[in-house]
Structure 1
Amino acid sequence: MNDPSIEQLLQQFGLSDKEIDTYLAILEQGEAKASVIADEADVSKRHVYSVAETLADRGFVEVNDHVVPTTIRAHPPESVVDTLADGLEKMEPALESRFSQAAPRSESFEVVKSRVTVLKRVAELLGRAEGEVMLAIPHRLLDDIATELRDAIERDVLVVLLVTGADPDDDLALDGLASVARVWGQPTPTILTVDRELGLVAPPEMLSRANNAAQAIVFAQEQLGPVIVGSFLGNYFPMATERYATEPEPLPTTYHDFRHAVLQAALHIRTGSAVHARVTGRPLHGEDGPAELDGVVVDVRQSLLEPTNSSFPVENTLIIETDHGTYNAGGQGAFVEDFEASTVELKLV
C-alpha cells in the first residue's frame, strides 16, 4: 500500500494532514526525539509535542516524558488497529439505534443486517397488528417482545405463536402471550406476519450468532403475506407441540379476522356449547347464492388447535346449517368453500 492510500485511510479516522505527517514520521523512526520528528514531518517541535499528546490519547503512540530528552515511540501497528477496531465495535450499538429510528417505513421491502434491528422491527410490527399475528421466534428472545405480544392480546388480536429452540417439556410461561402457542425444539427462521400483509423473515443464524453475514427481509406486501402465512402453517407449525390455548371468549362477539372466529367457535364447541353464527360476505360459486349466512355452526375445520381436522394446513372453515341449507364458509381468499366471509358474529344458542 502506498503512502497516499495510508493517508486517505487515516483521514477517515479524523486525523488532519499535519497529524498524519507527524504520525508517519514517528512510525518510520520507531522512537525518536521531537526535534528529529519535526525535521522529518516538516513541522515545528512545538507542533510535534501537541500532536503526540493527541496521538497518545488515541492509542497510536507513547510519549516517554520520564526521560531527558523526551522521546515519542510508535505503538506496533497491530495494537493500533486492534484499538481502532475495538472503538468501532463499541460504536455499533449507538449507530444501529439511530439508524433504526431513521430507517424507511414506506418501502415495500427492507433489508436488515443487524439482530438489534430485527428485534426492533418485530416489536414495531406487533404494535401495528389489528387482526392477526403469526410469529415463530427463538425461545431465548421471547422475553424481548413479551410486552408487545401481551398488548396485542389485550387488543383482541389473534396471536398464533411458535416458540423454537426449546424443549416442549420445559415449563414455559405462555399464558397471555398468545391465543395458541406451540413449542418446537428445532431452530427455524424467525417468521412474522401481521394482518396478512406486513411481516419479516430472518434466517436462524442471524439471531443465534453474532457477526454473521445473514440478512433479514421486512416486507409490506399483501400479495406476499398469505404466502408466508401458508409456509408458517404448512411447514413449521404442524411440527410443534401445542403448549397453550386460550380460554373461550365471552359471546356474542363480532370478528373481522376469520381465523379468530374459527378458533373461538372450536373452543366453545369443545366445551359442549352450541354456537350460532351470522356471517356476512359473498357467495363464491354463483351470483344467486346468499349474501349472508345465519345459522348454527355444526362443524369446524381448522389447523390451529389440537386435534386439528383440516384437510390442508391453511383450511379454516365454519360449516353452518341455515334454514336454506348447509354452507361452508371460509375467510379472505377462500376458494374451496361456498362462501367468503368478511365478518362473523358468534353467539351461544
Structure 2
Amino acid sequence: MDDATLAARLEQLGLSEKEVDTYLSILRTGEAKASEIADDTGVSKRYVYSISESLEDRGFVEVNDHVVPTTIRARPPGEVIDALTDQLTEMETALADRFADTDREPQQFDVIKSRVTVVKRLSEYIADAESEIMLSVPQQYLSEIGDDLAAAVDRGVLVMLVVNSTTRIDPTDVEGKAAVARAWEQEMPIMLTVDGQYGLVAPADMVLRTNSDQRAIAFVQRQIVPILSGSFLGNYWPMATELHVGEPHPLPETYRSFRHLVLQATLRLRADEPVTFVADVAPVQATDDPGHIEGQVVDTRQGMVEPQTNAYPIEHTLVVELGDETVTVGGPGSFLEDYEANEARLS
C-alpha cells in the first residue's frame, strides 16, 4: 500500500491530514524528538506536542515527557490494530443495541461497477427466487452460481438457462441446474429475471475483460422485468441450441409460474401421459365473472423445448378440453387466450 492510500485509510479512522503526516513521520523513525518531527512535517513544535497528545489518546503513540527533551515513540502497529479492533467491536455492540431492524424495500435501480458484485447479485437474486428464473451467463461463471441454480431447481423453480461459450458445452455441466438449458456460441450479455420482479443486465465485456469500464444495472420493478423476459424469450432463447431438458415433475403439483406448468404439461403429453388441469380462471376478453375449470389438457403452445409450437415468443398456452368445448388458458396478463390463471394444478 502506497503512502497516499495509507494516509487515506488513516483519515477514514478519523485522523486529520496533519495528524496523519505527524504519525507517519513518527513511524518512519520509530522514536523522535518534537523538534525533529516539526522539521520533517513543517509544523511548529508546539503543534507537534498537541497532535502527539491526541495520537496518544487514540493509542497510536506514546509521549515520553518524563525525559528531557520529550520524545514521541510509535507503538507497534500490531498493538494499534488490536486496540482499534477492540474499540470497533465495543462500538458494534452499542450500535446493535440501538439499531431497529426493519423490512427495507430493495433499490429500484442499482448501477454495479464490478464483476464481483455482479456475481454476488446474481447469487442473491437466484437464492430469493420462488417460481421462475431466466438466465444467460458465460460458461466460465456457471461454476460460481451453479449451486444456487441447483438449489432453485430443487425448490421447484423453473430455471431457463442459456450458457454462452465459444467451445462445446458438455450437457452434464448443466444437469440439475436448469429445467431447460441451451447453448449459444455468440457473445451475449448476462441477463437475469426472477419471478417477474427482479432483473439484472451486464455487458459481456464487463465480466470477460478485467479492464472494462462498463457497468451493469440491477433493478426491481414489475413494469420493466417482463420487458427483459420478452427480450430473453424473443431474441436470445430461439437462437440458442437445446442442450438439456430435465425430467418431468411428479404429479399432482400446483404451479405459480404458468410457463412452468406449460412445460410440465408438454413433457407429459409427449410421453403420451394424460394430464388434467384445474384452476380458478378469469375470462380474458369477455365480461363474465371469474370461474373454475377442470379438464383434460389436449395440447400446448410453447417455445421452451423443441419443437417450438407457439406463434409468438411470449405465448405459453394450454389447450384444455371441457367436455363439449375446448378452451385456451394462459398466465397472468394473457391476451391471446380465452382465460388467464394465476395459479393452477396439474394431475
- TM-score, normalisation: structure 1: 0.71
What are the superposed Cα offsets for residues 90-144 of structure 1, whole Å, 9 maximum, x if unpaired? xxxxxxxxxxxxxx86211111101111111000001110000001111000010
SS at match of 1:342: coil
1:311 matched residue in structure 2: 311
The letter for the 2-side match of 1:17 is K
CA distance in 2, matches of 1:40, 1:199: 53
Cα distance in 1 between the residues matched to 2:122 and 2:138: 13
Q: How far apart in 2 are the matches of 1:341 and 1:302?
A: 16
Q: Does 1:239 align with 2:234?
A: no
CA distance in 2, matches of 1:227, 1:245: 25
Structure 1 pair 42–121 and aligned structure 2 pair: CA distance change class (3 A):
closer
The one-letter code of the counterpart of 1:197 is Q
**Shift in Å at residue 323 of structure 1?**
2.2
Is 2:260 the partner of 1:277?
Answer: no
Contact 1:293–1:320, Cα closer than 8 Å, also in 2: no
RMSD, aligned α-carbons: 2.9
Tell me the equivalent position of 2:18.
17
Three-state SS of the structure 2 residue aligned to 1:311 is: coil
Residues 1:298 and 1:144: Cα distance change in structure 2 (over 3 Å)? same
Distance 2:336 2:282 in 1: 13
Measured in 1, the distance between the counterparts of 2:41 and 2:123 equals 57
The equivalent of 2:199 in structure 1 is 199
- State the match for 1:133 in structure 2: 133
**1:288 deviation in Å?**
2.8
Deviation at 1:211, TM superposition (A): 2.9
Kindly state the Cα deviation for residue 41 of structure 1 after the two structures are TM-superposed: 4.6
Amino acid at match of 1:113: K
Determine if the alignment matches structure 1 residue 114 to structure 2 residue 120.
no
Cα distance in 1 for partners of 2:160, 2:179 equals 6
Task: Give the letter for the 2:330 counterpart.
Answer: G
User: What pairs up with 1:323-338 in 2 under 5 angstroms?
Assistant: 323-338=323-338
Match of 1:80 in 2: none
Any gaps of 5 or more consecutive residues in structure 2? 11-15, 26-34, 49-103
Equivalent position amino acid for 2:344 in 1: V
Q: CA deviation at 1:295?
A: 1.0
Aligned to 2:173: 173
Partner of 2:291: 291
Residue deviations 1:248-279, cap 9 Å, x none? 11111111210010000000001111211112
Identity value in percent? 41
The alpha-carbon distance between structure 1 residues 17 and 187, as it changes in their structure 2 partners (threshold 3 A), is same
Q: Secondary structure at the match of 1:116?
A: helix
